[in-house]
Amino acid sequence: MPAVSITPTDAALGATVEGVDMRTPPDDATIEVIETALETYGVLIFPNQIVTPAQQVTFSAALGPLELTANIDARLDGQPEIFVVGNTGAKTVTFAPKAGSDDLEWHTDHIHRSEPSRASLLYAKEIPEEGGDTLFACMYSAYDGLSLEDKEAYGRLEAIHSVAGLRAYLRDQAEEDEYDPGRQEAMPESVTWPLVRRHPRTGRPALYFGAKITIGIRGRSREDGLRFVRELTAHATQPAFVYRHVWRKHDAVLWDNRRALHAATPFDMERHRRLMHRTTLRETEPVA
Ligand code: OGA
Ligand code: MN
């Protein structure tokens, strides 16, 4: 195994990993280093990776089973495990609000599926000159920052998640009639998970929800549930818990969907191009 160096950010999560070459599949020792670093830091930044889609898929698959995006039109031709995120193709795929808005879609990938995602790897092929950063918030910190009473109360709550919440948000953010979800694989109407989730590797409790994809709290009215989610988002994504990733071309960022929420920030889509390739690792441990 080559020498790997790991440099933590000064935020609540995140570290830069150097000495890993994603063009070749990782050996067992490298996998162990990556998994341990992911467990420790939650978000790993691998700069200067020049990889083909096939190499990204092979590298990702060495870490565990992959999931395809439900957005059939956003699967890369010939390499369907790659989810194409950006504004360079026939259809724009974005999770960001409209330019100028700070109503972010904080989320964790595939929470609305019966098998969510353990981790995601996002690779920057083209980045805008400004904007288009990705924010990551530590849900261990968010949980730890609750009062004792709230920890107890939230530990009994179940949150309801649906892709309908994400769609409604994206429709709101799009210019008139511009939102087109494209062909989509069918997903359950909603799934319900405990709001507080114990990380299967570390045992630490983490909040598990999304700002828009979480559409309610079991046993509460729609309005109360949405208000609760709004307030929880404000608590959970306060600056002290957040790492902001300002992308450089050829960065690959791997994050733990069980610990981190993430949010895309806007950029001027008329003027700039942004193209990212995501591979998605399936959750292999029970959520509840
Ligand atoms: C994703 C995602 C954020 C971004 O690919 O899962 O949320 O900044 N991307 O593109
Ligand atoms: Mn995402």
CA dihedral defined by 141, 146, 148, 153, rounded to 10 degrees? -110
DSSP 157-188: -EEEE-HHHHHHHHHHHSSTT-----SB----
> What value does the mean pLDDT take over residues 95-116?
96
Q: What is the pLDDT of residue 182?
A: 85
- The residue whose C-alpha atom lies closest to atom 8 belonging to ligand 1 is 264
As a whole number of angstroms, the distance between CA 161 and CA 251 comes to: 30
CB-CB contact of 268 with 99 (8 Å): yes
Non-local CB neighbours of 73 within 8 Å, separated by 6+ positions? 90, 91, 182, 183
Residue 176 pLDDT more than 90?
Answer: no
Question: How high is the pLDDT of residue 175?
Answer: 79
Ligand 2 (ion): residues with CB under 5 Å are 109
**180: pLDDT confidence band, cut at 50, 70 and 90?**
confident
- Ligand found nearest the CA of 210: 2
Q: What is the mean pLDDT of the chain?
A: 96
For residues 86-111, give the mean pLDDT: 95
Rounded to an integer, the average pLDDT of 45-69 is 98
245 lines ligand 1 (CB under 6 A): no
Q: Residue 2 pLDDT > 90, yes or no?
A: no
- Does the C-beta of 95 come closer than 6 Å to ligand 1? yes
The model's pLDDT over 197-213, given as tens digits with 9 standing for 90+, comes to 999 999 999 999 999 99
Above 90 in pLDDT, residue 260?
yes
Q: How far apart are CA 249 and CA 128, in angstroms?
A: 9
Residue 111: band (very low, low, confident or very high) from pLDDT cuts 50, 70, 90? very high
Residue 1: band (very low, low, confident or very high) from pLDDT cuts 50, 70, 90: low
What separation in Å is there between the alpha carbon of 189 and the centre of ligand 1?
22
CA of 127 to the centre of ligand 1 (A): 13
Helices (H), the chain: 28-41, 53-61, 139-144, 148-154, 163-173, 222-236
Residue 214 identity: T
Distance (Å, whole) CA 51 – CA 231: 40
CB 276 less than 6 A from any atom of ligand 1: yes
Q: Is 109 in the pocket of ligand 1 (CB under 6 A)?
A: yes
Q: What percent of the chain has pLDDT over 70?
A: 99
Banded model confidence at residue 245, pLDDT cuts 50, 70, 90:
very high
Could you give the CA distance from residue 191 to residue 210 in angstroms, rounded to a whole number?
A: 13
Task: Give the ligand whose atoms come closest to the C-alpha of residue 121.
Answer: 1
Of 71, 91, 94, nearest to 83 (Cα)?
Answer: 71
Tell me the C-alpha distance between 242 and 162, whole Å.
25
- Looking at the DSSP bridge assignments, the partners of residue 85 are 276
The closest residue, in CA terms, to atom 9 on ligand 1 is 264
**Bridge partners for 256 per DSSP:** 119
Band of pLDDT at residue 288, cut at 50, 70 and 90: confident
Domains of the chain and CATH, by start: 5-282 (3.60.130.10)
pTM for this entry: 0.98
The answer to whether the CB of 120 is under 6 A from ligand 1 is: yes
Given ligand 1 and candidates 56, 85, 92, which is best to mutate, with the most ligand atoms within 8 Å of its CB?
Answer: 85
pLDDT band at 132 (very low <50, low <70, confident <90, very high): very high
Point out the ligand 1 atom lying closest to the alpha carbon of residue 120: 6
CA of 262 to the centre of ligand 2 (A): 6
- Sheet hosting strand 260-264, strand order edge to edge: 242-245, 134-138, 260-264
Q: What is the number of the ligand 1 atom nearest to the C-alpha of 86?
A: 10
Q: Which DSSP category does 51 fall into?
A: -
